[in-house]
Chain A
Amino acid sequence: MSNSVLIVGVYLLDKPSYIRQIKSDLSRSSRSEVEQRWVGLGTGSIPEEIADVTVRKVIPPAMKFPLLNQLLAEAKLDDFEFVLVCDDDIVLPENFLDRYLDSVTRYGFVLAQPARTHDSFSPHMIVDGFSGHPFVEQLDGLVARQTRFVEIGPIFSVHRSAFELIFPFDETSPMGWGYDFVWPQLIANAGLKMGIIDAVPIAHSLRKSGFYYQHDKARAEMKEFLAHRPHLSPDEVFFIIESYAA
């Protein structure tokens, strides 16, 4: 079965990234029709290899999720089965997209992410709401697991059945802090499933999660965001509901 996949993301022009390789890897799906739409953020030049998928260049300061909202608003979401939101600092395993979407489809996860490799950054910062909790590290014996937690990055997918729940991103938290505690509530209320795919882990080790952010500001932003929305607490999210092995 062929999927139609929209990939949206923001890449940094003035910092090292893997955007060329990511674009190339995601283009090589044999089973999905892929459209990529990226924003280049920074003052540098847009790399030639990425020009065809770069919708625009934005000079900082600009926040990630409002930029993603623009990309989504400009696309015809009805045409797509999945939206994949992707950062520019990850390394994808061989044949990632086909293998990942196979599992996401098989287990019916409308919101999902690949696990992280063991050598990815894992700064144990989730109590502050940042990404990188050991919970998302690959569990070696599993193909996938149904969870109550999917991170806001570096890569996650949304199935069309959850587009209205997840999009547009709530811009009162423009860097996404707190989304991952609201999403499980939304998904559960809708009677849908979310999860992590362990069989195709991605490496996230180029830039440390949260390294470029002001943590106090992010924490305050998340607290304010969560104060006005139904959400789960950190004590409620780190559970495997069902696990799947080969």
Chain B
Amino acid sequence: MSPPSLSAILCTFNRAELLSQTLESILGQTLDRSNFELIVIDDGSMDDTRKVVESFERRLPLRYAYQANAGLASARNHGIYRSQAPLLLFLDDDDLCSPNLFEEHLKTHVQYPDNHFAVLGYIGFDPNLAQKPLLHYVTEVGCYLFSYSNVKHGDVLDYPYFWGGCCSCKRKFLIDYGVFNPVFRFGCEDIELAYRLSKNNLKVVYNARAASTMAATTNRGTRPRRRSCCSS
């Protein structure tokens, strides 16, 4: 059996409720299920994460792997090495994927087949998050987080736009030139890797149609993901 075209790597830690929404959104992907696999790396969750994943096992081409809590970089590396597809898409556990998310990433990689091209998708916010003044400030004014104001669809960008939770890249490029540094348990693991990969000419193609939405949490607020080209 030939491997799928795309491996989506979803690392999660104690966010069973959000994870359920994320998995629901993956159910609706337009990309044929024979063409992708979903790898869920459970980074030591103590909640119902495993049960949630199990409830989707018959509906998604899904593989679950548990590890003792070790942080996002280690979890992503675990996912990279478990993956079988030539393209890797990194997802976060609060992403609600648009139906064509996987397909759009794949399309852009077909257009840019060289190994050094990665793809950046667009992440919007749940309306409950978007109306918060602080989020408006960090995304639109200070450009500290998810700053898309300076990029347009189709742009070929440099390494600071390799944002962990909404980027895809070629597996071989990582295998040949480097994976995440496990010292970074949460945050900056993406930009640090991208900086190293930039020595091998990493370029990031922005596809605004590869969209997802960051879900609002019910009780803990937004996980502080760093997604900016301005703060690197």
Contacts and interface: CB of A to CB of B under 8 A. Distances in A.
Q: Do A and B come from one complex?
A: yes
Interface stretch (A37-45, A64-72, A150-158, A233-241): A233-241
A135 interface: yes
A240 B68 contact: no
B66 to A, nearest CB: 5
Contacts of B229: none
A198 B176 CA distance: 21
Contact of A139 (B70, B84, B183): B70
Contacts of B44: 141
Query: Range of interface residues on chain B?
Result: 20 to 34
A243 B175 contact: no
A206 interface: no
Contacts of B74: 139-141
B176 A240 contact: no
A77 interface: no
A134 B65 contact: no
A62 interface: no
A121 to B, nearest CB: 14
Nearest to A141: B67
Contacts of A243: 65, 67, 78, 82
Contacts of B84: 239
Interface in A226-246: 234-235, 238-240, 243, 245-246
A127 interface: yes
A190 interface: no
Nearest to A199: B68
A124 B172 CA distance: 13
B177 interface: yes
B11 to A, nearest CB: 10
A139 B11 CA distance: 14
Interface string A50-85: 000000000000000000000000000000000000
Given A239-B82, A245-B68, A141 B43 contact: yes
Contacts of B82: 239-240, 243
Contact of A134 (B43, B78, B179, B183): B179
A223 interface: no
A235 B172 CA distance: 7
Given A141-B69, A141-B70, 17 more contacts: A135-B81, A137-B182, A139-B78, A139-B182, A140-B67, A140-B68, A140-B71, A140-B74, A141-B43, A142-B68, A234-B175, A239-B81, A240-B78, A240-B81, A243-B67, A243-B82, A245-B68
Interface of A: 118, 124, 127, 134-135, 137-142, 145, 234-235, 238-240, 243, 245-246
The 10 residue pairs across chains A and B that have the minimum distance between CB atoms? A141-B67, A141-B70, A140-B70, A240-B81, A141-B68, A140-B74, A245-B67, A240-B82, A245-B66, A238-B175
28 contacts: A118-B182, A118-B183, A124-B176, A124-B178, A134-B178, A134-B179, A138-B182, A139-B67, A139-B78, A140-B67, A140-B70, A140-B182, A141-B44, A141-B68, A141-B69, A141-B74, A141-B75, A142-B67, A145-B81, A234-B175, A235-B175, A238-B175, A239-B81, A240-B78, A243-B65, A243-B82, A245-B68, A246-B68
